[in-house]
Structure 1
Amino acid sequence: MKTRAVRIYGENDLRMEEFELPEIKDDEILARIVSNSICMSTYKAVIQGARHKRVPDDVAENPTITGHEFAGEIIKVGKKWQEQFKPGDKFAVQPALNYKGSPYAPGYSYKYFGGNTEYTIIPQEVMELGYLLKYEGEGFYEASLSEPMSCILGGYHAVYHTESNNYIHKMGIVEGGKLALLGAAGPMGLGAVDYALHAERRPSVVVVTDINQERLDRAASLFTQEEAKKQGVELHFVNTAEMEDVPKELNDLVGGEGYDDVFVYAPVRELAEQGDQILGKDGCMNFFAGPSDKELSAEFNLYNIHYSPTHIMGSTGGNDDDMRESLKMSAEGKLNPATMITHIGGLDSAADTIQNLPGIPGGKKLIYTSIDMELTALDDFTKKGEEDPRYADLAEIIAKNNGLWSAEAEKYLLENFTK
C-alpha cells in the first residue's frame, strides 16, 4: 500500500513524499498513524543528518521517517502477534528501543517506521521488547504526548534521597515535601505541574518559576491554587525576573528550610545554580533540561553536597513503565496532556514545523497525519474561522474547554478536515 511521509535525506533535507510500503512479515504489524507531536530532538536530527548518532550513514539512499511521539490504530497483525493484538487497537510506542545496544529508534533510523506518516510498519524488535503499548483512552493526542510525559515521569522517579549511616537510596520525590520547578512554565514544565498535583505521591508545596509573565499567567489559569488545595498541595507561580535575591526569596516561601526536590527545566547556568542554592538537607536537584552546548557548566556548593548532603543529578527520557503510567493516568482523566499543546497542523506542515521549530513560540506542535492543514496556533482558530467555518467550530470547542485541545476537538478535526 502507499503512504505519505516526511523523511530525512540528509542535513536540513526533509521531504514529504508518497511511496510504497512492503507487505508486512509474520513478526510485524501494519498501523495507521493518527497523531504525532513534534519534538526538539527531531529538529536536532534533521540539522545533523547522518552525523546524528541515530540517523544511518546511508540515509541519502535510504531515507528515514521522522517523528517518535506518535499514536494510532492497528490495521493488520502478523501471525506471531495475533493473540496479543488485533485490528482496531489504539496504541502508542516507547521509542527508546536500545535494542541489543543499537542506537536506532523510530523517528530517526527506520525506512518504514516513524510518526510523520499516514501508515507505518512496526518492526519485530518493538514487539519483542514489549514496547507496543495499548491505549484505552479517547483522544489519540493523549497517547502521542505520553512519550514526552513519560520523560517527565521518569524525572520524578529518578530523583533520590538517602538515610544517614545507611547505604540506601530512596527513589522518587519526597512525599509531602517541598518541590521547586525552575524555568517551568513551558510545555514540559506544565506536564510536571500536572503530575505533581495528580500523582499518587505528591509534595505539600509546589513552587513554579519563570521569567515570562504571560506563560506564568497561562499556567496559573490551567492549574489553579484552588484545584491544588483539593489535592493537598500549596501551589505558587513566581516570576523571578525582578527579584534581587532569587534563592533567598524562593527559600522564604518555604520557611527558609530549602526544598526537598528541585527540577531545572531550562538549560541555563543561572537556573542550575539557583537550584543548588535552594536545596534543603538531603535535597535532590534534577537538571532535566537537555543542553545543546557541550561545554555548559555551573558552580555548585561542594560543602553542602558533602555535609548536608545535597544531590545533583540529571535524567533524560523515560522507560516503558513511565509511558504505561502516563497512558493509564491520561485514560483515567488524572493527567491532561492537552495543557502542553499550542499548535495543530497537518502532515503537509510537518517538514516546515520541524525545520523552524526553535523559532515557533508556544508549546507542543501536534501533527495529524491524515489531513493537510497549515500549522495553526489554537489562539488563531477564531481569526481563521472568519473565512472557513470549520475553524470557527473548532474555536468554539476549544473555548468551552478552557482554551485547550480536547478529544471533542480532535474528533471534529478528523471528521471534517481529513483528505
Structure 2
Amino acid sequence: MKARAVRLHAANDLRLDTFELPEIRDDEILVKVVSDSICMSTYKCAILGTEHKRVHPDVAEHPAIMGHEFAGDIVKVGAKHQDKFKPGMKFTLQPALNYKGTMWSPGYSYEFFGGDATYCIIPAEVMELGCLLEYKGRAYYEASLAEPMSCSIGAFNAAYHTKMGVYHHEMGIKKGGKLAIMAGAGPMGLGALTYALHRDVRPSMVVVTDVNEDRLARAEALFPPAEVKKKDGIDLHFVNTGKMENPAAELREMTGGTGFDDVFCYAPVAAVVELCSAVLGRDGCLNFFAGPTDKQFSAKMNFYDVHYNSTHVMGTTGGNTADMIESLELTASGRIDPAVMVTHIGGLDAAAETTLNLPKIPGGKKLIYTHLTMPLTALTDLRAKGAEDARFTALADIVDAHNGLWCPEAEEYLLANFQQHD
C-alpha cells in the first residue's frame, strides 16, 4: 500500500516521500499514525545523519522514517499477534527498544517504522519487548506526549540518594526535598514540572530557572505559584538567572543555604551544567537530561563536593515501558496534563521544515497530525488565521476555553473538520 512519510536520506536531508509499504509478515503489525510530536532528539538525528548513534549506515539507500512520539490506530495484525492486538485498537509505543544491544529506535533506524508517516509497519521486536501498548484514552496527542513525559519520569525514577556508611542507594528524588529544573521553562521542563507537582513522592520546593522571559511568563501563568502552594503544598518559584548577579549564590539562598537535593539540567550548555553543580546540596543528585550533539561536550563539576558532600551526577536518555505506562495512567486520571508542552500544531507537510529548524522556532512542543495538510501554526495564532478561515476561529475558541492549551476537544474538531489525506 502507498504511504507518505518524512524520511532521512542524509544529514540535513529530510524529504516528504510517497512510497510503497511492503506486505506485513506474520510477526508484524500495520498501523495508521494519527499524531506525532517532534522531539529535539529528532532534530539532532536530522542534522547528524549517519553520525548519530541510532541511524543505520546505509540510510541513503534505505531512508529512515522520522518521528518517535506517535500514536494512532492498528490496521492489520500479523498472525503471531492476533491474540493480543486487533484492528481498530488505538496504540502508542515505547520507542527506546534497546534490542539485543543495539540503539535502534523508530524515528532513527527503520525504513518502514516511524511517526512522521501516514502508515507504518511495527516490526517484531517491538512486540517481543512489550513496547507496543494499547491506548484506551480519548486523545491521540496525549498518547504521543506520553513518550516525552516518560523521559522525565524515567529521570525522576533514576535519581538516587545515599546514606553515610551504608552501601545502598535510595532510588528516586528525595521526598520532601528541594528540587531545581534548570533551563526548565521549555516543553520538556514543563512536562517535568507537572510531574514533579503531582507524582506520589513529591518535593517541598521546586525552582524552575530559565533566561527566556517569555517562556518563564507562560510557565508561571500555567502554574501560578500561589495556587500550587494552596493546592499541592509545594513552594514553586520561577527564576530568570540571566537577571541575577550571582546565580549560584542567590539560588542557594532560596533554599535556606542548604542547596538542592535534586537538580535536572535541561540544556546542554556548559554554563548551565556548572551552575547545576554549584547549587547541589549535600548528597545532591544532578541529572544531565539534555543530550548534546557535540561528542566532546564537557563542563566543570566541583569534585571537592563530590568527595566531601557526596554530590553525584548521572544522565538518562528516554524512559522505559513502566515509565510510559505511568505517564498514560497519570494523564488518564487527570493528575498531569501533558498539553502544557504543546504550543504549535501542523500537518505532515510541515514536519520536515519544522524538524530542521526546531531550535529557531520559539515555544514548546510541535504536534504533527500526519493525515492533515497544514502549515505549522502556533496556538496563539489560531484566531488571526480565523480571519481567512472560520475553522481556525472555532479552534481558537476551544483552545481559549481551556486556558490556551491544546485539548481533546480541539483535536477532535481538527480531525473532523480539516481535510485529511492518506
Would you call these one fold, judging by a TM-score over 0.5?
yes
Structure 1 runs of 4+ with >6 Å offset? none
Do the aligned residues in 2 keep the contact of 1:73 with 1:91 (CA within 8 Å)? yes
Amino acid in structure 2 at the alignment position of 1:295: Q
Do the aligned residues in 1 keep the contact of 2:284 with 2:311 (CA within 8 Å)? yes
Partner of 2:336: 335
Q: Which shifted more, 24-33 or 386-395?
A: 24-33
Which whole-Å deviations, capped at 9, do the CAs of 1:160-218 have from their partners, x for residues lacking one? 10011110111110011111111111111101110000101100111111112211111
Do the aligned residues in 1 keep the contact of 2:191 with 2:340 (CA within 8 Å)? yes
Equivalent positions of 1:206-355 (< 5 A) are 206-229=206-229, 230-355=231-356
Evaluate the alpha carbon distance shift between residue 238 and residue 53 of structure 1 in structure 2; reply closer, same or farther with a 3 A threshold.
Answer: closer
Partner of 2:176: 176
SS at match of 2:8: strand
Do the aligned residues in 2 keep the contact of 1:372 with 1:418 (CA within 8 Å)? yes
1:148 paired with 2:148, answer yes
Deviation at 1:51, TM superposition (A): 3.3
Partner of 2:162: 162
Partners of 1:50 and 1:312 lie apart in 2 by 29
Deviation at 1:372, TM superposition (A): 0.4
Deviation at 1:47, TM superposition (A): 2.2
Partner of 1:35: 35
Partners of 2:286 and 2:55 lie apart in 1 by 32
SS at match of 1:255: coil
SS at match of 1:31: strand
Deviation at 1:407, TM superposition (A): 0.6
Do the aligned residues in 1 keep the contact of 2:204 with 2:234 (CA within 8 Å)? yes
Equivalent positions of 1:25-174 (< 5 A) are 25-174=25-174
Partners of 2:275 and 2:391 lie apart in 1 by 47
Deviation at 1:48, TM superposition (A): 2.6
Deviation at 1:301, TM superposition (A): 2.1
Do the aligned residues in 1 keep the contact of 2:44 with 2:293 (CA within 8 Å)? no
Do the aligned residues in 2 keep the contact of 1:135 with 1:331 (CA within 8 Å)? no
Partner of 2:388: 387
Partners of 1:315 and 1:52 lie apart in 2 by 17
SS at match of 1:114: coil
Deviation at 1:87, TM superposition (A): 1.7
Which whole-Å deviations, capped at 9, do the CAs of 1:344-376 have from their partners, x for residues lacking one? 000111111112222111111110001100111
Equivalent positions of 1:359-374 (< 5 A) are 359-374=360-375
Partner of 1:190: 190
Do the aligned residues in 1 keep the contact of 2:36 with 2:68 (CA within 8 Å)? yes
Do the aligned residues in 2 keep the contact of 1:136 with 1:331 (CA within 8 Å)? no
Partners of 1:54 and 1:239 lie apart in 2 by 35
Residue identity (%): 61
Deviation at 1:303, TM superposition (A): 1.9
Partner of 1:8: 8
5+ residue gaps, structure 1:
none
Do the aligned residues in 1 keep the contact of 2:33 with 2:117 (CA within 8 Å)? yes
Amino acid in structure 2 at the alignment position of 1:281: R
The TM-score normalised by the length of structure 2 is 0.96
Partners of 2:194 and 2:40 lie apart in 1 by 21
Partners of 1:406 and 1:326 lie apart in 2 by 17
SS at match of 1:145: helix
Q: Which shifted more, 405-414 or 232-241?
A: 232-241
Amino acid in structure 1 at the alignment position of 2:357: N
Evaluate the alpha carbon distance shift between residue 12 and residue 296 of structure 1 in structure 2; reply closer, same or farther with a 3 A threshold.
Answer: closer
Do the aligned residues in 2 keep the contact of 1:30 with 1:120 (CA within 8 Å)? yes
Partners of 2:354 and 2:24 lie apart in 1 by 30
Do the aligned residues in 1 keep the contact of 2:382 with 2:395 (CA within 8 Å)? yes
Partners of 2:48 and 2:283 lie apart in 1 by 40
Partners of 1:45 and 1:348 lie apart in 2 by 19
Amino acid in structure 1 at the alignment position of 2:223: F
Root mean square deviation, CA, Å: 1.3
Deviation at 1:297, TM superposition (A): 2.4
Deviation at 1:409, TM superposition (A): 0.5
Amino acid in structure 2 at the alignment position of 1:309: S
SS at match of 2:243: coil
Partners of 1:155 and 1:301 lie apart in 2 by 22
Partners of 2:64 and 2:269 lie apart in 1 by 33
Deviation at 1:246, TM superposition (A): 1.3
Partners of 2:360 and 2:240 lie apart in 1 by 23
Amino acid in structure 2 at the alignment position of 1:337: P
Partners of 1:5 and 1:109 lie apart in 2 by 14
Which whole-Å deviations, capped at 9, do the CAs of 1:247-292 have from their partners, x for residues lacking one? 2211222211111111111122222222222211111111212122
Deviation at 1:299, TM superposition (A): 2.3
5+ residue gaps, structure 2:
none
SS at match of 1:46: helix
Partners of 1:243 and 1:50 lie apart in 2 by 41
Partner of 1:414: 415
Q: Which shifted more, 125-134 or 43-52?
A: 43-52
